[in-house]
Structure 1
Amino acid sequence: MSQNYTDFSELIRARKSVRKFDPNYKIGQEEITSMLEEATLAPSSSNLQPWRFLVISDQDLKKKINRFSFNQEQIETASAIIAVIGDTEMYHNIDEIYLSNLAAGNIDEEHVKIQIQNAKGAYPNAPLETRRGIATFDAGLVSMQLMLIAKDRGYDTVPMGGFDKKQFAESFELESRYEPLVLIALGKAAAPAYGSTRLPIDAITTYM
């Protein structure tokens, strides 16, 4: 259901954070899966893809989330809430990811062995705070990509960091390695988003 934006710049400018959604509009699981598949083409540190997704469409669960998310209207009216979860122990996936890349013909056996050795030497030994930072950064990349994909397909989104992450993790019984980082409300806008301005580029950019 692409909106056929004439170019990427138009798409970027069309995406706004929407907070009023049509509560009767539903987006099917197949469509959400397709958007997530495209979103995960985003880059990540050493391609370890430390993101996981919890797609919440059940109304009772959305109401439960809202109790520790400052009662934000969009949580209950959006078609789905996509929780982007960071995997702080992304190193458990090193073999699977790199050997898959080898099987796909993207790398030769000699170099994949070097990659696996380097990754296993770095990530398991990195402090938790460092791994948390990596997961958070990569979650931002995949989240932005998801929101642009959604807009291109005619949907609207708003990212939310304002929720009790500890309560969220406990409510959904997340293993300690998984940390909720952002909630993305996904649906069909019921009212236009507010406009917003940006700081002048020359005030925030230095060329050297």
Structure 2
Amino acid sequence: MTDFFNIARERRSTKVYDPNLEIPREELLEILEVAGRAPSAWNLQHWQFLVFDNKELQQRLLPITFNQQQFADASAVVAILGDLEANKNTDKVFDPSIERGEMTPELKEILRGQIEGAYRRKEYPRDAAFLNASLAAMQLMLAAKAKGWDSCPVGGFDPAKLMEEFNVSDRYIPVMLITIGKPLKEARKTDRLDIHDLITWAK
């Protein structure tokens, strides 16, 4: 098994891809399945993956991404969408556990009350969508690296145009786009702040 720490250290944002290389859909599906194992509040899985693995579709992304060539050249692009109505997943998430005897119906109703209480707070749906979908996005990039693919998370795009062009339901909010492929040139090395500058030990 590939060492996780090497994967995490070697992952870099790649922006120049081999445009002639396709990623097998089965392999992409495996990466997405691992991404979907990311943690989420109440296990509601506040994400939707909008996948582009077709050059014609990727060309339609160019004006949405301010003509960043990596979107045309990548082997695939995944739009990470946050679910603003993940509370609607409650039954789908918990009912299988009840059927297997791993959860009681009473506990499910307690959790439902917590979830609905949170979703009544004005800012919570958007905050939860971004937070939890970002966990899945990071897991996707690490899974891609483990399978030998490089990636790049991108926030520089027009969310409204993405939703309009690809008929994205207003249940979802675009969080980021991730390009996936094989690099034509090595990604630029970046420095990191000393970890001691980023840590405050609580007292």
TM-score (ref. length: structure 2): 0.93
Give the percent of matched residue pairs that are identical in Structure 1 and Structure 2: 38
Give, as a single letter, the amino acid of the residue that structure 1 aligns with 2:106. E
Contiguous gaps of at least 5 residues in structure 2: none
Q: Residue 65 of structure 2: SS of its match in structure 1? A: coil
Does structure 1 residue 152 correspond to structure 2 residue 177?
no
Give, as a single letter, the amino acid of the residue that structure 1 aligns with 2:156. G
After superposition, give the CA deviation of every residue in 1:60-119 in whole Å (9 maximum; x if it has no partner).
221121112121121011011101111101111111111123234432333223212322
Equivalent position to 1:122, from 118, 121, 134 = 118
Equivalent position to 1:183, from 177, 180, 185 = 177
Give the corresponding residue for 2:37. Answer: 41
CA distance in 1: counterparts of 2:124 and 2:117, whole angstroms: 14
Query: Is the contact made by 1:94 and 1:120 (CA closer than 8 Å) also made in structure 2?
Result: no
Give the corresponding residue for 1:205. Answer: 199
Equivalent position to 2:63, from 35, 55, 67 = 67
Give, as a single letter, the amino acid of the residue that structure 2 aligns with 1:144. M
After superposition, give the CA deviation of every residue in 1:19-64 in whole Å (9 maximum; x if it has no partner).
1111111112221111111111111111111100111122222112
Give, as a single letter, the amino acid of the residue that structure 2 aligns with 1:114. I
- What is the alpha-carbon root mean square deviation over aligned residues? 1.4
Equivalent position to 2:188, from 190, 194, 207 = 194
Give, as a single letter, the amino acid of the residue that structure 1 aligns with 2:191. T
Contiguous gaps of at least 5 residues in structure 1: none
Query: Is the contact made by 1:98 and 1:116 (CA closer than 8 Å) also made in structure 2?
Result: no
CA distance in 1: counterparts of 2:61 and 2:163, whole angstroms: 11
Structure 1 165/187 Cα, relative in aligned 2: closer, same or farther at 3 Å? same
Q: Residue 57 of structure 2: SS of its match in structure 1? A: helix
Does structure 1 residue 174 correspond to structure 2 residue 168?
yes
Give, as a single letter, the amino acid of the residue that structure 2 aligns with 1:160. V
Equivalent position to 1:111, from 103, 107, 112 = 107
Higher mean C-alpha deviation, range 106-115 or range 10-19: 106-115
Q: Residue 158 of structure 1: SS of its match in structure 2? A: strand
Give, as a single letter, the amino acid of the residue that structure 2 aligns with 1:62. Q
Give the corresponding residue for 2:7. Answer: 11
Does structure 1 residue 82 correspond to structure 2 residue 78?
yes
CA distance in 2: counterparts of 1:204 and 1:54, whole angstroms: 34
CA distance in 1: counterparts of 2:149 and 2:102, whole angstroms: 34
TM-score (ref. length: structure 1): 0.91
Q: How many residues align?
A: 202
CA positional deviation for 1:175? 1.6
Q: Residue 178 of structure 2: SS of its match in structure 1? A: strand
Equivalent position to 1:56, from 52, 57, 60 = 52
